C-alpha cells in the first residue's frame, strides 16, 4: 500500500472529506494562479462526487488513488471533471474494482501550451464529411477549412479528420498535425476504458478527437513553464553580453616640472581613539 494510502487509512475514508483534509497539500503543488482559489477548486471536485455515483464508488474503492489523481491535476493547474482534465472510473483487473484515473482533455493540453508562453493562439478543430478541407504540406502554411455553420453537427456528417496547429509569438506557424480515422482508432485502442459507457470516448467523442490532435501537437509546441524560464534566462544573458563596457577614466599626466620632487610619498596613517 502506498504512503498516501496508509495516511488515509487512519482518517475519514469518505472521498469528499479526504479532499478537504488535503487542502494544504493540493495548494502546495498548484501553480500560483490556482492557489488563491484552491477552496473553489476543492468544492467543485466535491460536487462532482455528489453528482456522479459511479465516480463516487470508484473514489471510495481507492481513496489514495483518487487523491493522487487530484494531485496530478493540481500540479498541472487543470480543473478536474472538465474538458481540461477528465475524472474517469476505470476497471482495475488486479483489484477487481473500479478506481479513478485522470485523463487530460484537449482544453487541458491547450491550456498548458498557452501557459508555457511560446504561442499566441492554438487551433484545434474536427473536420466532418460535408466540410471542405484542404491542406498540402509544403505548399500551405495552414489548412483551409470551410464549414457551413447553419448545419448541425449531424448534418455536417460523421467525424472524418482532426487538425491542430499553433501560431507562435513571432507569427510563425507550428507544425500542422492532421489525423484521420485510422490515427484516432489507434489512439482509442490504447484506452482501457474506451468500450465503457461512461468513457469520454463514448460520452464526448468529438472532444476526444480534439484531445488526440492537441496531444499530438504538444510534441511540437512547448507545454512547460520551464520554457518561459529558459527564455527569460536567455534574454538576461543576451542583455548582459550587450551591456556597454565602462571604460576607465583617463587621468591627464602632470606637466613637466610641476611635480614636487621633495614629496616623500604617502604618510602612514595612525588610528587614534577619540576621547
pLDDT tens per residue across span 201-214: 888 899 999 999 99
For residue 273, the model assigns a pLDDT of 45
Nearest to 58 by CA among 242, 193, 215: 193
Higher pLDDT residue, 240 or 86? 86
CA 55 to CA 164: how far, in whole Å?
Answer: 31
Residue 270 cell numbers, joined: 595612525
- Rounded to the nearest integer, the mean pLDDT of the chain is 82
Span 108-135, average pLDDT? 94
**Dihedral (CA of 170, 173, 175, 178) sign:** positive
For residue 251, the model assigns a pLDDT of 52
Q: How many CA atoms lie within 13 A of 213 on its CB side?
A: 27
Higher pLDDT residue, 26 or 244? 26
For residue 6, the model assigns a pLDDT of 44
For residue 80, the model assigns a pLDDT of 93
85-92/159-168 β-pairing: unpaired
CA 35 to CA 74: how far, in whole Å?
Answer: 9
- Helix (H) / strand (E) element for 239: namely helix 225-242
pLDDT confidence tier of residue 116, bands split at 50, 70 and 90: confident
CA 191 to CA 97: how far, in whole Å?
Answer: 17
pLDDT confidence tier of residue 20, bands split at 50, 70 and 90: very high
Checking if the pLDDT of 24 tops 50, the result is: yes
CB 218 within 8 A of CB 113: yes
Output DSSP code: residue 171: S
For residue 265, the model assigns a pLDDT of 44
pLDDT confidence tier of residue 184, bands split at 50, 70 and 90: very high
Amino acid at each position: 500500500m502506498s504512503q498516501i494510502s496508509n495516511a488515509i487509512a487512519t482518517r475519514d475514508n469518505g472521498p469528499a472529506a479526504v479532499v478537504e483534509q488535503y487542502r494544504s497539500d493540493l495548494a502546495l503543488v498548484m501553480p500560483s494562479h490556482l492557489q488563491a482559489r484552491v477552496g473553489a477548486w476543492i468544492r467543485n471536485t466535491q460536487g462532482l462526487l455528489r453528482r456522479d455515483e459511479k465516480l463516487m464508488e470508484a473514489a471510495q474503492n481507492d481513496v489514495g488513488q483518487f487523491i493522487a489523481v487530484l494531485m496530478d491535476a493540481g500540479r498541472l493547474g487543470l480543473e478536474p471533471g472538465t474538458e481540461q482534465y477528465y475524472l474517469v472510473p476505470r476497471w482495475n483487473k488486479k483489484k477487481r474494482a473500479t478506481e479513478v484515473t485522470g485523463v487530460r482533455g484537449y482544453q487541458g493540453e491547450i491550456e498548458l501550451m498557452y501557459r508555457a508562453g511560446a504561442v499566441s493562439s492554438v487551433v484545434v478543430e474536427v473536420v466532418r464529411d460535408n466540410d471542405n478541407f484542404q491542406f498540402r504540406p509544403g505548399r500551405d502554411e495552414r489548412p483551409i477549412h470551410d464549414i457551413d455553420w447553419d448545419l448541425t453537427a449531424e448534418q455536417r456528417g460523421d467525424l472524418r479528420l482532426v487538425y491542430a496547429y499553433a501560431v507562435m509569438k513571432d507569427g510563425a506557424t507550428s507544425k500542422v498535425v492532421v489525423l484521420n480515422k485510422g490515427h484516432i482508432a489507434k489512439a482509442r485502442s490504447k484506452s482501457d476504458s474506451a468500450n465503457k459507457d461512461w468513457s469520454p470516448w463514448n460520452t464526448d467523442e468529438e472532444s476526444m478527437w480534439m484531445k488526440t490532435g492537441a496531444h499530438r501537437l504538444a510534441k511540437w509546441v512547448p507545454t512547460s513553464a520551464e520554457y518561459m524560464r529558459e527564455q527569460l534566462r536567455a534574454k538576461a544573458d543576451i542583455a548582459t553580453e550587450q551591456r556597454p563596457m565602462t571604460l576607465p577614466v583617463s587621468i591627464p599626466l602632470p606637466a613637466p616640472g610641476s611635480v614636487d620632487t621633495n614629496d616623500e610619498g604617502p604618510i602612514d596613517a595612525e588610528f587614534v581613539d577619540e576621547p
